[in-house]
A and B are shown apart, each in its own frame.
Chain A
Amino acid sequence: MNRWKVVAGTAVFLLVCGSSMMLTRNVSAAAEGKVTGTVKLDGTPPHQRPIDMSKEPSCQQQHAGKPVTTENVVAGPNGGLEWVTVYISEGLSAGAASATPSTPQKFDQRGCQYIPHVMAVDVNEHFQVTNSDQTSHNIHPQPKPGGGNHEWNKSQPPGSPPFDIAWTAEEVSIPVKCNIHPWMHGYHTVVKGPHAVTNADGTYTLENVPPGNYTLTAWQETYGTQTQKVTVAAGKPATADFTFKAK
């Protein structure tokens, strides 16, 4: 009789564990939320200067007819700010992590520009740096000294294989430059958890956000950061808009 009790008890225990695991997963999937929003600039954006690439004819030719400017503040016709990184700065539980993209993100050098201008990555997320130009570039990220990420400087001749890179510490944000083409300028924002970079009309979407209360931070390279509290409920996408004031 005792033996039967043990067996039954174990079976029930296992059933409950298993189903609760399955149920939890289902419940999580249905309940994982989104945060969307728009980042705008209030005021006139500062003048973005045209970039003269004449020292590199192979890049200059790629932009014939469509001049290139600096990207310190890129504002669309409706004031939408591009290249703003939005991420969760507070409230994420220790175990949660955003899904690593199935294909590594690419930080490409094309037309003597960084594409994308700002790239957001997770801590320890592997991404690729590629050179699509006919000229060598050197990739020179300059993280804050003493912050956990180390400065490096490597050249990538045309035709050489992509670099596989990962940052090991959070940092908002690491400036990246090319010394050979001094106008080249980009950023890596390294954060934990869901993150996104606004597109040309200033909109962003944070995916796979577990329900909860969070502080969201928006970072723009000229204007710095702004924060906002947001609550994400199961099955209800939350909205958070940001507005930076032009100086």
Chain B
Amino acid sequence: MHDISTHPVAHHAPPETFIRKYIFSLDHKVIGKQYYGLALVAVFIGMGLSWLMRLHLGWTNMSIPGLELLSKNGAPGGIMTPEYYLQLMTMHGTIMVFFVLTTAPFAAFGNFFLPIQVGAEDMPFPRFNMMSFWVTFVAFLVLMASFFAGDGPSLAGWTQYAPLSAVGAVAGPGQGLGEVLWASSIAIFCIGQLLGSLNFITTTLDMRTRGMSMMRLPLSAWAWFITSVMGLTAFAVLMPACILLILDHVAGTSFFVPGGLVLNDQLQPHSGGSTLLWQHLFWFFGHPEVYIAIIPGMGIVSHVLIANMRRPMLSHRVLIYSMAALGVLSYMVYGHHMFVSGMNPLSSLAFSFPTLIITIPSTIVVLIWIGSLYGSKLRINTASLFALGFISMFVSGGVSGFFLAQPSIDIILHATYFVVGHFHLVMAVAAIFGIFAGTYFWFPKMFGRMMNETLGKIHFWFSFVGAYCIFMPFHYLGIAGNVRRYQAFVDDFMQPLIPVHKFITVAALVTGAAQLIFLYNLIHSRWWGEPAPLNPWEATSLEWSTPTSPPPFDNFGGKHPVVYHDPYQYGVESSTGDYVMQDSPEKVQSALPEEA
């Protein structure tokens, strides 16, 4: 590892033109904000789609005013058709998983803060970095285009199981052009992520400033590093899978389609393919993907909590090893999505053991967080509230995983709302809370202004209580036998559960509306927020050492910082108070029995 503090500063010149400054920027900070903006647009579209879905589930044959303007075929007379529900559902999942949960915690905050936290002035490949955003943006446009394709977007869910996803338009509306657009969009997205991962890994390994050993990296930086290594391997499998899927559509191949299939009384012209092959390829990506969605959140939440607890975590190393263990184990568990898929039942048992074992690092992480709260000096602000909320949500979402990890129990819970509740709690809530915690915490550094704390707390309360009101009942529905991905519940068995759905819909609309408070706060504070001190949270890591907020073009104003301390020197006595910043040469006595 080389020491960049002797390098000349600023290996690319500051931008001059509007286009270079704000559009095709090489600056990791601008790229980070562009990713954040993309995620913001995507999350509101995704949330709007979920509102339409929830309205339809609660009140199935009701005409939703104006819906026929969105799609004449999809909602004749404003009444959503079965296929339109599935199309909205597919787009909801795809947008949220790819363009929100992979983008915001990792690409947005990571791009902005990883180089700063390692003490560099930018990432080593700024052009690849710029391309990674614009490729992701193109992927988003391609996906959105499927709304305007012939008979609409794909209806095969974000999981796109074959043969439904592979046989073409004969399987249903949206499975022709809509499907090809979906697969193309995701293949393009993978390229963007690979370019991004390249930069993150090399930044972490090669661009650390003098004194910044790997163990002195903040937990958020470690989380981004682990995530980027996972991204490289996971997206590298999804991309060829999507290409094979496209070939099945346009080139007459049969990678995922066996022979002898009859649709609409017509024998399909395919043979030799394997439907399970798609599931293996997809979930080999898909399970690491959900950890890609949560690990940055763990890093961000740890980082935010430490500053607000005024103490480091009980063990910095254990958290790093646990996050790394989660990353490695995540590749070994993917078959738990396929317990009843028709694969060898022995394989199911084999996959269930690592799935159960992965509980251990998850538990360690939660215990370390809670154990670190003990004896701390806990500051309550919007950022710390969301970070603490993350812990609560991660516990709730995690325990339901306990059930799903066992194949025998999966027999009765697979494909029910129990699964939907599980993954929404960990992804839609916990991961989003991580994004919120990061936003409220880092906003002052990114824009030089504080977000409004009152609005932030209102946003938090609605989100925390609202999210539980929405997603806790999903588990009861699943246990009672409510099957997922149904656009309506038409059979007698389901009728007693419909009032629960109505309750959930109301909770979803209210909680969703509260997110507009966040949007308002974000936009208003960006231009009219209270000017922020350089280090409003009295935090220690390098991002708080930048000479300005937002940081100057080369992050540290013409020099590389030199690091003298571990990342979280709190609980000490120093000239600044109870903390010392990483690049401060001041020697302090560590107040706690810290592991080396």
Q: Do chains A and B touch in the complex (CB under 8 A)?
A: yes
Measured between beta carbons, the chain B residues less than 8 angstroms from A155 are 81-84
Contacts A154-B73, A159-B61; A138 near B79 (Cβ below 8 A): no
Inter-subunit contact B77/A160 (CB<8 Å): yes
> CB of A192 within 8 A of chain B?
no
Encode B124-143 as 1/0 by CB contact (under 8 A) with A: 00000000000000000000
Within 8 A of A (CB), among B231-269: 264-265
Contact B81 A136 (CB under 8 A): yes
| Shortest Cβ distance from residue A62 to the other chain B in the assembled complex, whole angstroms | 16
Residues of B within 8 A of A152 (CB): 151
Q: Which of A151-205 contact B (CB under 8 A)?
A: 152-161, 163, 175, 177, 179-180
Across-interface contacts of A138 in B (CB, < 8 A): 81-83
Q: In whole angstroms, what is the CA distance A155 to B63 when docked?
A: 15
> Do B79 and A157 touch across chains, with their CB atoms under 8 A apart?
yes
Q: Is A140 an interface residue (CB 8 A)?
A: yes
Cβ contact of B81, chosen from A157, A175, A179, cutoff 8 A: A157
B1 within 8 A of partner (CB): no
B76 in complex: contacting residue of A153, A160, A180, CB < 8 Å: A160
- Check if B301 is an interface residue, CB within 8 A of chain A: no
Say yes or no: A154 contacts B173, CB within 8 Å: yes
B264:A140 contact, CB within 8 angstroms: yes
Q: Which residue of A lies closest to B82 (CB)?
A: A155
Q: Are B77 and A136 in contact (CB under 8 A)?
A: no
Would you call the interface of chain B mostly helix, strand, loop, or mixed? loop
**When each residue 157-173 of chain B gets 1 if its CB lies under 8 Å from chain A and 0 otherwise, what string results?**
00000000000000011
Are B173 and A157 in contact (CB-based, < 8 A)? no
Per-residue contact bits, chain B 65-87, to A (CB 8 Å; 1 contact, 0 not)? 00000000100110111111000
Asked whether B264 lies within 8 Å of A154 as measured between CB atoms, the reply is no
Q: For A156, list chain B residues within 8 Å (CB).
A: 76, 81
As a 0/1 sequence over residues 403 to 439 of chain B, the CB contacts with chain A under 8 angstroms (1 = contact) are: 0000000000000000000000000000000000000
**CB-nearest residue of chain B to A156:** B76
* Cα–Cα, bound, A160→B73 (Å): 11
B596 at the interface (CB under 8 A from A): no
**Residue in chain B with minimal CB distance to A142:** B264
Nearest-neighbor residue (CB-CB) of A55 within chain B: B491
Q: Which of A156, A157, A175 has the most CB of B within 10 A?
A: A157
Cβ of B375 to closest chain A Cβ, rounded Å: 60
Within B75-116, the residues touching A (CB, 8 Å) are 76-77, 79-84
B13 sits at the interface (CB 8 A):
no
Expressed in whole angstroms, the Cα–Cα distance for A163 and B163 within the complex equals 30
Q: Which chain B residues border A136 with CB–CB below 8 Å?
A: 81-82, 488
The residue on A at minimum CB distance from B63 is A159
B19, CB-defined interface residue at 8 Å: no
A161 B76 Cβ-Cβ under 8 A: yes
Q: Are B490's CB and A157's CB within 8 A?
A: no
Q: Flag if A177 contacts B264 (CB, 8 Å).
A: yes
Tell me how far the C-beta of A50 lies from the nearest C-beta in chain B, rounded to whole angstroms.
20
CB interface residues, A 71-101, toward B, < 8 Å: none
Q: Are B77 and A179 in contact (CB under 8 A)?
A: no
Alpha-carbon distance A159/B84, docked complex (angstroms): 16
A135 interface residue, CB < 8 Å from B? Answer: yes
Which residues of chain B are near A154, meaning CB under 8 Å?
A: 73, 76, 81, 173
The minimal Cβ–Cβ distance linking B174 to chain A, given in whole angstroms, is: 10
Chain A residues with Cβ below 8 Å from B264 are 140, 142, 177, 179
B80 contact set on A, CB distance < 8 A: 157
Interface size of A by CB at 8 A reads 21
* Cα(A163)–Cα(B68), bound, Å: 14
A138 vs B81: C-alpha distance when bound (angstroms): 9
In angstroms, Cα B170 to Cα A177, docked, is 13
Separation of A144 and B82 alpha carbons in the complex (Å) = 26
Closest residue of chain B to A177 (Cβ to Cβ) is B264
Q: Report the Cα distance A241→B81, complex, angstroms.
A: 45
Residues of A close to B76: CB separation below 8 A: 154, 156-157, 160-161, 163
Q: Is the CB of B83 within 8 A of A161?
A: no
CA distance A179 to B169 in the complex (A): 14
Residues of A contacting B265 with CB < 8 Å?
Answer: 175, 177
Q: How far is the CA of A154 from the CA of B71 in the complex (A)?
A: 12
> B172 contacts which chain A residues (CB < 8 A)?
153, 179
A142 to B169, CA, bound (A): 12
A163 to chain B, nearest CB (A): 7
Instruction: Decide if B77 touches A153 in the complex (CB within 8 Å).
Output: no
How many angstroms between the C-alpha atoms of A175 and B173 in the bound complex?
18
If A135-B490, A153-B151, A154-B73 touch, whether A159 touches B173 (CB-CB below 8 Å) is no
Give Cα A161–Cα B264 distance, bound, in whole angstroms. 26
A158 and B61 contacting across the interface, CB-CB below 8 Å: yes
A229 to B488, CA, bound (A): 54
A135's nearest neighbour on chain B, judged by CB, is B490
Tell whether, in the assembled complex, residue B77 and residue A161 are in contact, meaning their CB atoms are under 8 Å apart. Answer: yes
**Which residues of the partner chain A approach B61 to less than 8 Å between Cβ atoms?**
157-159
B78's closest neighbor in chain A, by CB? A160
Known: A153-B173, A179-B264. A160 touches B151 (CB 8 A): no
Please, how many angstroms separate the alpha-carbon atoms of A155 and B76 in the complex?
9
Expressed in whole angstroms, the minimum distance between the Cβ of B459 and any Cβ of chain A is 36
For residue A153, which residue of chain B has the nearest CB? B173
Decide: B79 and A159 in contact? CB cutoff 8 A: yes
Docked CA distance A179–B83 (Å) = 12
Note all chain A residues with C-beta closer than 8 A to B82.
136, 138, 155, 157, 180
Least distance between A153 CB and chain B CB atoms (Å): 6
CB-CB under 8 A from B492, the residues of chain A are 57
Residues 118-165 (chain A) with a chain B CB within 8 angstroms: 135-136, 138, 140, 142, 152-161, 163
CB-CB < 8 A to A157: which residues of B?
A: 61, 76, 79-82
Proximity string of chain A (209-231) to chain B, C-beta cutoff 8 Å, 1 when within and 0 when not: 00000000000000000000000
Q: How far is the CA of A158 from the CA of B63 in the complex (A)?
A: 11
Query: Could you mark each residue 452-477 of chain B with 1 if its beta carbon is under 8 Å from any beta carbon of chain A, else 0?
Result: 00000000000000000000000000
Taking CB atoms and an 8 Å cut-off, the chain A residues in 28-72 that contact chain B are 57
- Complex: chain B residue closest to A136, CB-CB: B82
Question: In the complex, what residue of chain A is closest to B490 when comparing beta carbons?
Answer: A135
B81: chain A residues within 8 A (beta carbon): 136, 138, 154-157, 160
Give the complex CA separation of A76 and B151 in angstroms: 42
Closest B residue to A158 using CB positions: B61
A selection of 18 A-B contacts at a CB cut-off of 8 Å is: A57-B492, A138-B82, A138-B83, A142-B264, A153-B151, A153-B173, A154-B73, A154-B81, A154-B173, A155-B82, A159-B61, A159-B77, A160-B77, A161-B76, A163-B76, A175-B265, A177-B264, A177-B265
Interface of A toward B, CB cutoff 8 Å: 57, 135-136, 138, 140, 142, 152-161, 163, 175, 177, 179-180
Minimum-distance CB pairs A-B, first 7: A155-B81, A160-B76, A160-B77, A161-B77, A160-B79, A157-B79, A155-B82
Besides A140-B264, A159-B77, A160-B81, 10 more A-B contacts (Cβ < 8 Å) are A152-B151, A154-B76, A154-B81, A154-B173, A156-B81, A157-B81, A160-B76, A160-B77, A161-B77, A179-B264
- Name B's A-contacting residues (CB within 8 A): 61, 63, 73, 76-77, 79-84, 151, 172-173, 264-265, 488, 490, 492
